[in-house]
Amino acid sequence: MSFGGYSGQAYSPAGDKGRFVLPPLFRKAVKESSDGRVLCLMKHPTWTCLVGFGLSRKPELEAQLDREEEMAVRLGKDFDRDTRSSQLFGFQELPFDDSGRFVMPDHLRTLGQIEGGLYFQGGGRFFTLWNPDQLGKMGDDWAGAKAACESFLADAKAKGK
């Protein structure tokens, strides 16, 4: 079976000892993409969130690098392949257990402004991990994700009572 991408939404409250849980929907997709339990995480280049994906994205990133370089050459623009490669491949590979638990490094928490729980939003080739407050600052293009996140937060709050 080929990897079908990341879709859907989920919420995961913050765990103890700086641990987070990759929700089942995303855990299954990452396992398929990584041939095992390896989650790749990095800061999104423009949004205040993190990007997650599995190891199968590595060849795609190499192809993206080639396309960007080719485009720059065609347009007569400068292209620093080493810098761009460092940006694309600067992700952390994090192991997770059968329950989806993983420890997020402090620098990623800081970059994504992650404080409490995580909202997960499918994005096809990758998924995003949000601090709900940061997601709330996004524009109207994100209305669906914001509504889903609010619903998940309300459910989590109700369960906490």
Number of domains in the chain: 1
Please indicate, yes or no, if residue 124 is contained in any of the structural domains.
Answer: yes
Q: What is the model's pTM?
A: 0.88
pLDDT at 1 over 70: no
pLDDT (tens digit per residue) in 13-44: 887 777 899 999 899 999 988 878 999 999 99
Instruction: Classify residue 68: in a domain, yes or no.
Output: no
pLDDT tens figures, 89-110: 889 999 999 999 999 999 999 9
Please report the pLDDT score of residue 161 as a whole number: 62
- Domain membership flag for residue 21: yes
Answer whether residue 114 shows pLDDT above 90. yes
Give the pLDDT score at 59. Answer: 87
Residue 76 lies in a domain: no
On whether residue 36 sits in a domain, the answer given is yes
Sign of the torsion formed by the C-alpha atoms of 67, 69, 58 and 53: negative
Q: What is the mean pLDDT of residues 41-48?
A: 94
- Quick one: pLDDT at residue 83? 92
CATH number of the domain within which 14 lies: 3.40.1550.20
41 belongs to a structural domain: yes
For residue 142, is pLDDT > 60? Answer: yes
Q: Is residue 150 part of a domain?
A: yes
Tell me how far apart the alpha carbons of residues 97 and 24 are, in angstroms, rounded to a whole number: 12
What share of the chain has pLDDT > 90, as a percent?
72
pLDDT above 50 for 118: yes
153: in domain: yes
Q: Which domain holds residue 100?
A: 9-57+92-160
- The chain-wide mean pLDDT, for the chain, equals 91
Q: Can you tell me the distance from the alpha carbon of 39 to that of 46, in angstroms, rounded to the nearest whole number?
A: 21
Predicted confidence at residue 8, as pLDDT, reads: 93
